[in-house]
Chain A
Amino acid sequence: MQPKLKSRVRCADREIGEVTKVVVDPLSHEISHIVVSMNGSGERQVAMGHVQSVTESLVELRVPSSEILVLPPFKRDDYVTTHEVEISHLEEKIHVTPGEVLVPYPELEKNVKRRTFFMNFTNVITFLIGLPLAYPIMRYLMKPMYAPFDNAWLKVGNIGKIKEDDIGVQFEYKKKVKEVYMPEYEIEKNVWVVKATSALLDKVYQGKDLEFRDATGTALWTNKKEIPFVAFSGKCPHLGCGFKWRKHKVLGRVFLCPCHLSIFDASGKVLDGPAPRPLDVLPVRVSVGGDLEIIEMEFKAGTKSQVRII
């Protein structure tokens, strides 16, 4: 038990006064001293080490009163109250006030069921204010995230440019971009086109026509396996870099990506390097006059399965 203020203090021989103040160590949060009134002849600060026992109204010291009297007088100016200094959690550790100071509950607050009802009702109403907004806000923020695909045919060049079979020919083209209310601008893009022999066509299509579907699942276009022109997206399926057509020392004439050295053969198959899937084939068609057209698509880089993003 902690010594209480106003309790009597008794030495081994006689009573010397009452506890007027209590001193607390700011670091250990423990009571270090009591200050005794000495019945008017000057307060003395007594270390807790001298205390033998503490009860609700009495503090017994184990030393005679003579020892206490020779202590120097208590210097109040060396101390501040706990209200004048910020020591966390101090008030919770100190219980030196005899009794309690109480304030009555207002009559209306005495009913616990009432309090819980209004608290819960408040939470319900708060939830119901936020709820109608949740869906509109989500849709609002997500508007540009899943923009529908533009499946327009884009002319990239003329097949007259291709002189040889089974080699990669780069077709550079300009794409017009208009982002919402921003002015229209052009970006330069490219695709790699191969005029494939039937052997190479077999490697690309594996005997099946390549179907392209749009977001709703309706068929968009089919690359027939007999059409000799194959268009590959200009972005490497590893991380999106632009790749080249080069002569490799061992593998011959291949598509080579300079970023991480993925190597693909003329059919787009991965020969070496970190590419997770073969080159992405785009829908292609050739007009009567030999104009090569593609549907511009971009796919997520770095994934094994092909996921269209543009």
Chain B
Amino acid sequence: MADERESLSPVKIGLGVLWPVCWTGLPIKLVFAVLILAMGMAQFEGRLGIAFLMLLTSPVTVFAVPTITMGLESHLGEGVGIPLLFLISIPIDIWAFGVVGRTFFLENLRKEPPDGLGLTLWWKSALAGALFLPMLWFTVSTVTETAISTSRSLVEMESLRHVFGTGLPVAERISIELALWGTVASVVLIALLLIGVSLIGWIIRGTAEAAQPATENYQRLITRWDLMRVPADQGLMLTAVTGAGVVLSLLFWAVLPVTTTHPHECCKKPDVKAQPMFKPLDTLNKNEQQIAQMTAQLAMLEQQKAEAESEKDKGKRKAQTGKDAASSAVKKP
């Protein structure tokens, strides 16, 4: 590596900076992504992979995303959370470019990093991405579409002339088609990506040319960028990070849905009917009314019973005399 620094190609420079920058910012961006997903501010459906990649490479995609999603009509997903995430990633990426840029300048380019390196590298890369990536997206999608239809007709043509009377079996057909257009699309994608990366490398080299050479020996340079990662005021930094983490955790607890957002048929929650207001006075009055009613009913029943009894008595006496008459009639032989 030491003797390669003179001949570092733009691709190597571009890759050597972009790769760490993207991964450095990712853990912090992920924290906000999780919060936004928990709040339901973003839905991705099938495009989660692409969305993840675009967020990961936000140093170059941040201004390309609007063009790609609107101009080329390729939606990443729904929700206000997506542009919000990209907005949040801007300061994160500027910081990441600063750290990685200074490391790379010292170790690989042997140059003194100028002030504001993070910001400079960021806006230049974002601009380059904004111009280059929509072109890449358009090219790769066109090539892929063409490759898919070409390989499909190729395979169908093949299957007509094939030994199997009914054409190639499904699994083989899919694999061959996929291999054909997959290779073409991958080659084009990788080539364009390499061009893009070297573009970034060329930008970085341009920035480095104006910088002062770093004169220390290798060990000193390594130690410098290593210690650069230790903040001047550790207590402050750690307290701030812990505090921010606690606040975000509390927010997370507040927004986390208690039950699943994708319920199953089996367990649909019944519509909660609003409970009728409980009015104690009304109930008491109702009770009193009921009691009064019941007492009245009771009185009526008793009256009825008394009447019925007297009727029965009358009836009984009649029956008794009747019975007596009957029995006496029977008894008299």
Where the two chains meet, the residues of A that have a C-beta atom closer than 8 Å to any C-beta of B are: 107-108, 111, 113-114, 116-118, 120-121, 124, 127-128, 131-132, 135-136, 139, 218-219, 222, 224, 288
Q: Give the 6 A-B residue pairs with the shortest CB-CB distance, closest first.
A: A128-B245, A135-B253, A131-B249, A132-B249, A117-B230, A114-B230
The answer to whether A108 touches B245, judged by C-beta atoms less than 8 angstroms apart, is no
Considering the chains assembled together, what is the distance between the CA atoms of A288 and B289 in angstroms?
13
In residues 251-274 of chain B, which contact A (Cβ within 8 Å)?
252-253, 256, 258
Q: Which residue of B lies closest to A214 (CB)?
A: B278
With a cutoff of 8 Å between Cβ atoms, the chain B residues found around residue A219 in the complex are 278, 280
Docked CA distance A108–B280 (Å): 77
Contact between A111 and B230 (Cβ–Cβ < 8 Å)? yes
Distance in Å: Cβ of A177 to nearest Cβ of chain B: 20
Contact B241 A124, beta carbon cutoff 8 Å: yes
Q: Which of B139-147, B190-198, B220-228 contacts A (4 or more CB under 8 A)?
A: B220-228
**10 new A-B pairs (CB below 8 Å) besides A117-B230, A128-B241, A222-B280?**
A107-B219, A107-B222, A114-B227, A114-B230, A124-B238, A127-B242, A132-B249, A132-B252, A222-B284, A224-B287
Are A121 and B252 in contact, with the CB atoms below 8 A? no
Tell me which residues across on chain B come within 8 A of A118, comparing CB atoms.
Answer: 230
Nearest opposing residue in chain A for B258, CB measure: A139
Q: How far is the CA of A118 from the CA of B223 in the complex (A)?
A: 15
- Main secondary structure on chain B at its contact with chain A? helix
- Give the residue name and chain of the B residue nearest to A110 (CB): B223
Q: List 5 A-B contacts (CB under 8 A).
A: A108-B226, A113-B234, A116-B234, A117-B234, A131-B249
Contact between A120 and B280, CB atoms less than 8 A apart: no
Complex formed: what's the CA distance from A131 to B31 in Å?
A: 13
Residues of A within 8 A of B211 (CB): none
> Which chain A residue has the least Cβ–Cβ distance from B252?
A132
**Contacting pair B238 A113 (CB below 8 A):** no
Chain B residue contacts of A121, Cβ below 8 A: 238, 241
**A114/B226 contact (C-beta < 8 A), A135-B253, A219-B278 known:** yes
Complex Cα distance, B287 from A117, in Å, reads 73
Residue pair B222, A108 in contact (C-beta under 8 Å): yes
CA of A139 to CA of B241 in the docked complex: distance in angstroms? 26
- Report whether A136 and B249 are in contact in the complex, using a CB–CB cutoff of 8 Å: no
Contacts of B242 in A (CB 8 A): 124, 127-128
Q: Tell me if B246 counts as interface (CB < 8 A to partner A).
A: yes
Query: Please, what's the 1-or-0 string for B282-301, where 1 marks a CB less than 8 Å from any CB in chain A?
Result: 01100100000010000000
B residues less than 8 Å from A107 (CB atoms): 219, 222-223
A274, chain B: closest CB distance, angstroms: 37
